[in-house]
Amino acid sequence: MTFAECLQELREDRNVSRKELAAFLNVSVSTLGMYEQGRREPNIDMLIKLADYFNVSLDFLVGRSFNRGERKIMLEALQLKNRIDKLPQEYKNIIDFMLSKK
């Protein structure tokens, strides 16, 4: 998976609009769109901002850390984590309890 594909997938998995992410990164929506289309590549500072924003490593962001199957599993896990993070604390406690009973 290319950086462009990974960026778009991460953004969509987090339900973040291009406009929202562009505002956070202090770039235009057009620039972000070019990143996602592979027509432009960010500098290292922007890569670090993106990795921090999505809470992933730079290797993950640029496609160096996992094969395609592992990457899909990681993205699904990140998506699940984001859904869990949105739950009320009571439900999070139940999930923590269930996980501790392995």
Can you give the length of the chain in residues?
102
Q: Name the DSSP letter for residue 65.
A: S
| 50 within 8 A of 60, measured Cβ to Cβ | no
Q: Is 10 exposed, middle or buried (0-12, 13-18, 19+ CB in 10 A)?
A: buried
Structure tokens at 65: 């850390």
pLDDT in tens, 1-53: 789 988 998 998 888 999 999 999 999 999 999 999 999 999 999 999 999 99
pLDDT in tens, 68-87: 677 678 778 888 888 888 89
- Which CATH number covers residue 36? 1.10.260.40
Indicate whether 65 pLDDT > 70.
Answer: no
Domain range for residue 85? 3-100
CA 33 to mean position of chain CA atoms: 16
> Domain count of the chain?
1
